[in-house]
Amino acid sequence: MMDGMNIETIENGLACNPKGVLIAVNDAKVVKVKFDYKYFQRFGPRVEFWDITVEATVGRVWFRTYSQEQGEAIQKGDTISVEVLITKVGDVNPNFETRYLFGKLLTKALADVKIVHTKKDEPVPAVQVNSLIGV
């Protein structure tokens, strides 16, 4: 596992080992969670998965999990720490001016993923204001 790396180091690691480079994603903010499903055969079982994108120090990391427990526990805005096997480095995205890193989670156990939930903003109670309009 490599710490304190940049995208060039990951690309060099992928050139040497095309199966992937193991990185630790520490305190990364979850910027997108998408639930989806598909059928592999016409009448086959439905397979559910969650696509998760996090903003890490090396850039945006995208990975997919098939674990329902993990998928339902991770929400947008949370911070997570997990080990990810990076399998591909994408092209530069003009919207974010960064490159996506595509990876796989090496665990299906929720205990191996450290999740810090952010508290949702509670609604502010309405304040009643008495004033004279048009004297």
- pTM, rounded to two decimals: 0.75
Domain-embedded: residue 56: yes
**Residue 32 structural domain:** 7-116
pLDDT of residue 121: 58
Element (H, E) at 16: helix 7-16
The domain tally of the chain equals: 1
> What's the CATH number where 89 sits?
2.40.50.140
**Percentage, residues of the chain above pLDDT 90:** 36
Please report whether residue 89 resides in a domain.
yes
122, part of any domain: no
86 assigned to some structural domain: yes
Contact 89/60 with Cβ under 8 angstroms?
no
Residue 88's pLDDT band (boundaries 50, 70, 90)? Answer: very high
Count of helix runs (H) and strand runs (E) in the chain: 2, 6
* Domain contains 47: yes
pLDDT higher than 70, residue 12: yes
